[in-house]
Structure 1
Amino acid sequence: MDKMPITANGYRQLEAELKKLKSNDRPEIIEAIAAAREHGDLSENAEYHSARERQSFIEGRIAELEDRIARAEIIEPSKLGGDTVKFGATIHVVDEDTDEQLVYQIVGEYEADIDKGMLSLSAPLSRAMIGKSIGDSVEVTTPKGSKAYEILDISYK
């Protein structure tokens, strides 16, 4: 079983979702299934089939989260450091074409969210920046063409 790097914050989010599914969603769906059964013939009972479908989704998500938590290797970015980009780094870059400044943090696969500036460790931009230093330029091929970024700052928080 391969370990997957994750920040402490990302790990807490996985645990919180798992707890919610087990303590809230699972009991609610069990009650919904029981209530739907009381309506009689299950073959034409849309409420029952909908509840069973939801139960299947919840149980699948619980199994997925338990696997992710079991494989998680928690890495605390604030305990890292250095002057090169690695997992957990918060990187300030400038788009060399548009002069737009952007901030990204390199995080684990499970916590990536581009809208929040959280790049997966395996994302093309992350892979291009790993090992680079302030002042280095990286070029990334995207579906819209090639983009060049200069690294302005690297921090670990």
Structure 2
Amino acid sequence: MNKAFVREAPAGEDAGEDEEDEAGVGAAKLPAGTKNYMTVAGYATLRAEFEQLVKVERPSIVQVVSWAAGNGDRSENGDYIYGKKRLREIDRRIRFLSKRLDSAVVVDPAAQENRDQVFFAATVVVCDVDGSEATYKIVGIDEANPGAGLISWISPLARALLKAREGDAVRFASPGGVRELEVIEIRYE
């Protein structure tokens, strides 16, 4: 068989353990040796997706595939072929979500005792040197959405903000070069 049709893992890696493959394109990998921190809302969102896939979508697709398999020739049966493909995608996502939920360390921002410093799940208002303000919330890697102000705790900005206090200036490397921000406000919501 031609090697172009065989998916092989790079030397020293097991193809079954590739987290990006499990989750699909765009899934962030946890750095080795770190915990999978999540906010309460982030955990609930992943849990709801897991439940939807297991209790609604997968049984529905299994029913369609079963019906299509009973129609005879499977080689030209679109319902069967696409149903099996979708079933593999759902099973891959279920495995990924199951691993992420099992390893999750849920952090409730309301339980944070030291509220004068930036820690995981903090909402931080910062000011740029030009005077423009921005608000960021430090969240888990599965919850990150930079456009909405939700930044992953492993991002350069979040790492720079961690342990900062109101009035502190933090520097971090951004794609546009080194930036400096001043911490204006810290909230735990």
Q: Answer whether TM exceeds 0.5 for this pair.
A: yes
Shift of 1:62: 0.7
Q: Distance in 2 between matches of 1:2 and 1:49?
A: 39
Which residue number in structure 1 is paired with residue 49 of structure 2? 17
Q: Pick from 113, 121, 127: which aligns with 1:94?
A: 127
Q: Hey, which bits of structure 1, 4+ residues long, moved more than 6 A?
A: none
Q: Pick from 117, 126, 129: which aligns with 2:161?
A: 129
Which residue number in structure 2 is paired with residue 42 of structure 1? 74
Shift of 1:25: 0.4
The amino acid that maps onto 2:104 is: A
Aligned length: 156
2:116 aligned counterpart, secondary structure? coil
Q: Pick from 10, 31, 36: which aligns with 1:4?
A: 36
Shift of 1:38: 3.3
Shift of 1:146: 2.6
Please say if 1:78 is aligned against 2:129: no
Q: Distance in 2 between matches of 1:35 and 1:145?
A: 57
The amino acid that maps onto 1:106 is: I
Please say if 1:156 is aligned against 2:183: no
2:45 aligned counterpart, secondary structure? helix
Q: Distance in 1 between matches of 2:103 and 2:34?
A: 7
Q: Distance in 2 between matches of 1:114 and 1:131?
A: 20
Which residue number in structure 2 is paired with residue 32 of structure 1? 64
Q: Distance in 1 between matches of 2:66 and 2:187?
A: 53
Please say if 1:105 is aligned against 2:123: no
Q: Distance in 2 between matches of 1:118 and 1:51?
A: 35
Question: CA offsets, 1:12-38, max 9 Å, x none?
Answer: 111111110011100111112123223
TM-score (normalizing by structure 1) = 0.92
TM-score (normalizing by structure 2) = 0.77
Higher relative contact order (CA closer than 8 Å, sequence separation 6+) = 1
Gaps of 5+ in 2: 1-32
Q: Distance in 2 between matches of 1:3 and 1:93?
A: 26
2:179 aligned counterpart, secondary structure? strand
If each structure's helix is expressed as a fraction of its own residues, which one has the higher value?
1
Shift of 1:129: 0.7
Q: Distance in 1 between matches of 2:167 and 2:34?
A: 34
